[in-house]
Structure 1
Amino acid sequence: MRVHHLNCGTCCPAGGRLFDGTSDGPLGHLVCHCLLIESDTGLILIDTGFGTRDIDHPHRRLSEFFLKLNNIQLRPEETAIAQLRAFGFSPSDVRHIVVTHLDFDHAGGIEDFPNATVHLTAREKEVADGRRGGAFVGTRRYRPAQWNDVSDWRL
């Protein structure tokens, strides 16, 4: 088994060190950390970061509030799909995606892997589908457009 650490999205919020603990400038540098695991049964992704559809249509798929607050840098080369292709893999090689939670910066690339089974806790799916978690935050952190084409959930 091999594990690859991926940055599947970069956010540069104002506040520097207050956000990331290390930046000396006015902007922080936060990454959407994902894992790509090579296993005997195929590839496994732990979270997906931002996906190609997020990059193509950010104002439809992501909250304007979080786009501005986080100063999200949507770079095609940072998508999980681009990085696994750079390793020589195909999107169809991804058999499983384990999503820690459905926040926009963890789940945006799910639909880039339509053949994968998506694993998630039942409670997280229930909360995300209801877009709960506070009226303001719940409607902005969960972006159902990022996962509404998923057909194979394992809760």
Structure 2
Amino acid sequence: MSGKSLPIFILVILFAFIGCEEVKKENTDETTSLSMDIEVERKAILETLNNETKAAFERDYDAWQQKWVHDQSITKTYLNFSENTFSESIGWDEISQFVKTFMEEHPEPEPVPDSLEKIDIRLYGNGAWVTYEQQDSLRGLKRETRLMEKVNGDWKIAGMQTTIYGFDTNENQ
């Protein structure tokens, strides 16, 4: 390398290191910001899920329906292994009617499950895929999957699948 090329080479290497450091700082800040946003969204989603469950168990249709997307493409599915039953409702009108009928046929409130604290969540812009387990005092273990959409700044339910496993009969033996 000639005497003139060496200082240029050193400058190129120096700028490369400085450039890499700047990219690293930008990515670090972005990651930190993204992590904080996930926690904010997680708390908001937990609030929606817990309030929707509370409203359903307390038979408060008006509060319950505010937590749902009112669209004809949403779904609500129950698989109950302990009773060997299945139900599926598609679209807001059908889901709404199913819940209204259930509340009319079972007007007595049920014990509200403990509030959710632990959920697995994947955020996709204004959407989220949420899974969790919950213990229901009347039905036993439930695994739930919820598709959430952010509508006008509020998280709402756009899809629900509940699998009810019941109580573990081996616990009593």
Q: Report if TM-score (shorter chain) is over 0.5.
A: no
Q: Larger relative CO (CA 8 A, sep 6+): 1 or 2?
A: 1
Bigger Rg over Cα? 2
- Could you state the TM-score of these two structures normalised by the residue count of structure 1? 0.24
Where is the strand percentage greater, Structure 1 or Structure 2? 2
Where is the helix percentage greater, Structure 1 or Structure 2? 2
